[in-house]
Chain A
Amino acid sequence: MSRPDLLTITGARIAYSPDRAAVDGVDLSLKCGQVTALLGPSGSGKSTLLRAIAGLEALNAGDVKFGEEVWSGDGVHKAPETRRCGVVFQDYALFPHLSALDNVAFGLRSLSRADRRKRAQAQLDGVELGDRAKAFPHELSGGEQQRVALARALATNPDVMLLDEPFSGLDRRLRSALRDTTASALKASGAATLIVTHDADEALSLADTIALMTEGRIIQVGAPDALYLKPNSIAAARLLGDAEVFSATVSGHSVEIALGLIDTPALDQDTNVDVIIRPEGIGVSADPSSGTAAVVTERRLAGGHARLSCQLDTGRVVQARVNLTERASVGQQVWLTLDPHFVSVVASE
């Protein structure tokens, strides 16, 4: 039988007390060669789920299977050391009494001493740390520690790679550089990868698939762009970025909100809905014929964009994210347009 290519989690539940579950009925699958990001606020149970996959936490219900092999569930709990999971811990958990090379070689016990060192050195080279092999963890910078931890986890050639907030301790610039190194190292390994993070940008830029988690549950899974453009709930929308939300009721095959009419072919008459609009979906124009009248009340820079606060006639203020070249200034009358690609209509909860 060839190597299985799928890790499946079904109905996973972990509860420290009877009334509150940290992980509450999670279904998720990880494909080999693919990176899945588990995105959620702190305390949502992401790290607990990761630890359960590694075998560091026991499930109260549900199961974790790699291919046909049960890792957790049905009274089975395969010990962490037998799961072939590589883990990069949030604090990296480097062994302070071992050099970078010995840290990486720690898991390679089946090899001869010489092979072990060769392999560990190759792994360090792979994360561009070949020249720091002799350094001890406290002599390494935060970014270097992170890469040693990555190399150590990859060295055993694991089937599943689990990364717990791998960039959270690092500054912004370092982060984006490390993301690229990490992403290519993970791709090259062919392992099924799960990255736990609370940073939407990180999830969007690293992952093939994103799973959104709040309060122990997974609320939506999908490709990054699909998830960004078409969130299935307000909570899902907010996890990935800013959004304007309007409440409305379906009338015919559309809903009407302050910014105009939106088609809703799939929804029944009189359904109460939330219309979720990404700030990129709101355009600003000087042409009165093209949209809804508004007055610019504030202009701020955000990233490479300008964020305009615009007050509608109803008094409601909405945020539009526009090109820096858009010169509309505070106090100016503008007309707002809507790009349906950035609009998602979901039934109210």
Chain B
Amino acid sequence: MTGQLAPSWPAAIAALICAAPLITVAALGVFGPWTDYMAHIASTRLPAYLTNTAAVTAIAALIALLIGAPLAWIVARFEFAGRGIMEWALALPLAVPAYAAAYAWYDLTQGAGPLGFLPTVRGPIGAGLIFALTLYPYVYLLAREAYAGQSSDAYDAARTLGRGPFGAFLDAALPLARPAIAAGLALVVMETLADYGAVAHLGAPTLSVGLIRAWSAEGSIADAARLALILVTIAFVLFAYERAQRRRARQSAASGRRRPAQRVKLGFGPGLLALLACVTPVMLGLVIPLARLGWRALSSPTNRSMVEAAGNSLLLAAISGLVAAALGLAAAYALRSGRRRAILSARLAGLGYAVPGSVAALGVLILLGLFQDGLDQVWTGLFGSAFPVLLSGGVVALVFAYQSRFAAAAIGPAEAALNRVTPTLDAAARSLGARSREIAWRVHWPLVASGALLAGLLVFVEVLKELPATMILRPFNFDTLAVTAHNYASDERLGEAALPALLIALIALPPMVWIARRITRSEQS
């Protein structure tokens, strides 16, 4: 398409940032020095890591499916008091980091806790439950989109062809939403694989815990990289699956014209039940954990001020959000250009989402080490002394690692926003005498601005919650809320861990409300 504004070089930079850490991890994993450690854990802890990983992800996916898919159907197809609020409120548990929910629920259900009569939330089952409660919104949001976008005609057609209401749901509505639900589940599993804080606290060490132990306890980056490779392989399989399912979802939506589904009004009794069904997961995933953390924070004075940690968290999240929004737009423009190399760059950048934070951090660590070595050699040659320690573990390194993991999350919204800028708009602007810069400013920016904001905020929330990459890469004495919470929690000082964990959720909540409302609103129009 000629005359279309679609620069592709920024995407190449985005791809490089996102892919470089992964490539170095893979290289080190394969070519790095072998130690006894790998052989040692292969016969001792590795099997447990693997079974825990399988068990936790399976339980998380199953429960998230059972919560997310039916509620999406209820919200999309029925009208009841409170539906308008529940539609976006159901997404809010995404503001709560899994480890924060894990602290709260473990604290509530342990022997001496107020809910001590319940089985204690711990081990693979407890961890799976925690992930389901904080991550089910992925399934809910994608399934809701699929149901809401579905023409009610498929359901109606099934009714006229002899299916009852439930049969029509199973045979017509559910199959159409199945790709979306599968994509949501893949996201749940990828997030579960990437987690460190919750599984460490609940005593269900997964591969990602093993990776961090290999690095922190054994100091073996090469062995950590090998564990990372196993983790990344699993994540990539899921990632490919998620992409394929999304493509199918688009395909199934493409048939015919749409007739917006009329929501069926529920009577008082059923309406109350529907509302109750919607409120329950929000209570379990958001309100109860935050209330418990709040209570613990109030009743146990923290001796350290959280101001500095909160400032650090905000700084990192804000910078990362801005950079990711820019990279997301860059990738979206590359996809728009239609040039093969540009699209490849954008897709490469998109792969980052499958890379757990700990792996991205490891990759950045290796890269910085190589860089430092290089500088040292040059410096020694010139001046006869080693180069001053410059970069290892600075804010820049952290932002680098975050981008390599989260920039991918910014591509989707940016791409969606840029899709509104049809090629004919560019052509029209040019025919009216506008130059490239003018088109970008007067036509593109107004149309993509809110999409870029969405992308930036998504990454802001994710970085705020991020723990493993921050642990690995943070400079000495540089604490974020997440790291502070984790350090207290791993010392069994839950009262002091409560405040930083609560602060993360409280800071993440307003942007999450905005994101949830925007996502649910935009599909209605």
Stretch at the interface among B32-40, B151-159, B218-226: B151-159
Is A296 an interface residue, CB under 8 A from the partner? no
Is A94 an interface residue, CB under 8 A from the partner? yes
Is B255 an interface residue, CB under 8 A from the partner? yes
Is B162 an interface residue, CB under 8 A from the partner? yes
Is A72 an interface residue, CB under 8 A from the partner? no
Please measure, in the bound complex, the distance between the C-alpha atom of A145 and the C-alpha atom of B257, giving whole angstroms.
12
- Kindly identify which residue among A55, A91, A137 contacts B258, using a CB–CB cutoff of 8 Å: A91
Please measure, in the bound complex, the distance between the C-alpha atom of A169 and the C-alpha atom of B171, giving whole angstroms.
26
Residues of chain B within 8 A (CB-CB) of A96 are: 176, 251-255
A89 touching B161, Cβ below 8 Å = no
Chain A residue at minimum C-beta to C-beta distance from B160: A87
A93 touching B159, Cβ below 8 Å = no
A80 touching B175, Cβ below 8 Å = no
Residues of chain B within 8 A (CB-CB) of A90 are: 153, 257, 259
Please measure, in the bound complex, the distance between the C-alpha atom of A81 and the C-alpha atom of B156, giving whole angstroms.
9
Is B311 an interface residue, CB under 8 A from the partner? no
Do most interface residues of chain B lie in helix, strand or loop, or is the interface mixed? helix
The interface bits of chain B over 218-261 (1 if a CB of A lies within 8 angstroms of the residue's CB, else 0) are 00000000000000000000000000000000011111111100
B257 touching A156, Cβ below 8 Å = no
Given contacts A91-B259, A93-B151, A95-B172, contact A85 B160 (CB under 8 A): yes
Is A83 an interface residue, CB under 8 A from the partner? yes
Give the shortest distance, in Å, between B365 (CB) and chain A (any CB): 46
Please measure, in the bound complex, the distance between the C-alpha atom of A334 and the C-alpha atom of B485, giving whole angstroms.
96
Chain A residue at minimum C-beta to C-beta distance from B175: A97
- Kindly identify which residue among A51, A92, A106 contacts B256, using a CB–CB cutoff of 8 Å: A92
A81 touching B163, Cβ below 8 Å = yes
Is B164 an interface residue, CB under 8 A from the partner? yes
Chain A residue at minimum C-beta to C-beta distance from B158: A106
A side interface size, CB within 8 A: 31
Is A135 an interface residue, CB under 8 A from the partner? no
List CB contacts (< 8 Å) of A64-122 with chain B.
79-83, 85-87, 89-97, 106-107, 109
B156 touching A87, Cβ below 8 Å = yes
Given contacts A81-B162, A90-B259, A107-B162, contact A97 B156 (CB under 8 A): no
A97 touching B159, Cβ below 8 Å = no
Please measure, in the bound complex, the distance between the C-alpha atom of A82 and the C-alpha atom of B159, giving whole angstroms.
9
B156 touching A56, Cβ below 8 Å = yes
B257 touching A152, Cβ below 8 Å = no
B161 touching A93, Cβ below 8 Å = no
Residues of chain A within 8 A (CB-CB) of B253 are: 96
Residues of chain B within 8 A (CB-CB) of A107 are: 161-162
A145 touching B256, Cβ below 8 Å = yes
Give the shortest distance, in Å, between B181 (CB) and chain A (any CB): 13
A152 touching B161, Cβ below 8 Å = yes
The interface bits of chain B over 242-284 (1 if a CB of A lies within 8 angstroms of the residue's CB, else 0) are 0000000001111111110000000000000000000000000
Please measure, in the bound complex, the distance between the C-alpha atom of A152 and the C-alpha atom of B158, giving whole angstroms.
11
Residues of chain A within 8 A (CB-CB) of B256 are: 91-94, 145, 169
Please measure, in the bound complex, the distance between the C-alpha atom of A145 and the C-alpha atom of B254, giving whole angstroms.
13
- Kindly identify which residue among A51, A82, A83, A137 contacts B255, using a CB–CB cutoff of 8 Å: A137
Residues of chain A within 8 A (CB-CB) of B251 are: 96, 138
Residues of chain A within 8 A (CB-CB) of B171 are: 106
Residues of chain A within 8 A (CB-CB) of B163 are: 81
Please measure, in the bound complex, the distance between the C-alpha atom of A53 and the C-alpha atom of B258, giving whole angstroms.
21
B252 touching A81, Cβ below 8 Å = no
Is A191 an interface residue, CB under 8 A from the partner? no
Residues of chain A within 8 A (CB-CB) of B258 are: 91
B176 touching A91, Cβ below 8 Å = no
Chain A residue at minimum C-beta to C-beta distance from B157: A93
A138 touching B255, Cβ below 8 Å = yes
Is A54 an interface residue, CB under 8 A from the partner? yes
A86 touching B151, Cβ below 8 Å = no
Give the shortest distance, in Å, between B253 (CB) and chain A (any CB): 8
Give the shortest distance, in Å, between B195 (CB) and chain A (any CB): 33
Given contacts A137-B255, A138-B251, contact A95 B154 (CB under 8 A): yes
Give the shortest distance, in Å, between A163 (CB) and chain B (any CB): 12
Give the shortest distance, in Å, between A255 (CB) and chain B (any CB): 47
Q: Which of A54, A106, A152, A156 has the most CB of B within 10 A?
A: A106
- Kindly identify which residue among A79, A83, A106 contacts B164, using a CB–CB cutoff of 8 Å: A79
Chain B residue at minimum C-beta to C-beta distance from A54: B160
Please measure, in the bound complex, the distance between the C-alpha atom of A138 and the C-alpha atom of B172, giving whole angstroms.
16
Residues of chain A within 8 A (CB-CB) of B257 are: 90-91, 169
Residues of chain A within 8 A (CB-CB) of B254 are: 96, 138
Give the shortest distance, in Å, between A159 (CB) and chain B (any CB): 12
Please measure, in the bound complex, the distance between the C-alpha atom of A80 and the C-alpha atom of B259, giving whole angstroms.
19
Chain A residue at minimum C-beta to C-beta distance from B257: A91
Residues of chain B within 8 A (CB-CB) of A156 are: 161-162
Please measure, in the bound complex, the distance between the C-alpha atom of A51 and the C-alpha atom of B159, giving whole angstroms.
12
Give the shortest distance, in Å, between B59 (CB) and chain A (any CB): 28
- Kindly identify which residue among B151, B161, B175, B259 contacts A81, using a CB–CB cutoff of 8 Å: B161
- Kindly identify which residue among B153, B162, B167 contacts A93, using a CB–CB cutoff of 8 Å: B153
B157 touching A89, Cβ below 8 Å = yes
Residues of chain A within 8 A (CB-CB) of B161 are: 81, 106-107, 152-153, 156
Given contacts A91-B151, A95-B175, A97-B175, contact A56 B160 (CB under 8 A): yes
Please measure, in the bound complex, the distance between the C-alpha atom of A156 and the C-alpha atom of B159, giving whole angstroms.
13
A81 touching B153, Cβ below 8 Å = no
B151 touching A97, Cβ below 8 Å = no
Please measure, in the bound complex, the distance between the C-alpha atom of A296 and the C-alpha atom of B156, giving whole angstroms.
54
Please list 16 pairs of residues, one from A and one from B, whose beta carbons are closer than 8 Å in the complex, sorted by A's number. A54-B160, A81-B159, A81-B160, A83-B160, A87-B156, A87-B157, A91-B153, A91-B259, A94-B255, A95-B158, A95-B172, A96-B176, A97-B175, A97-B252, A153-B161, A156-B162
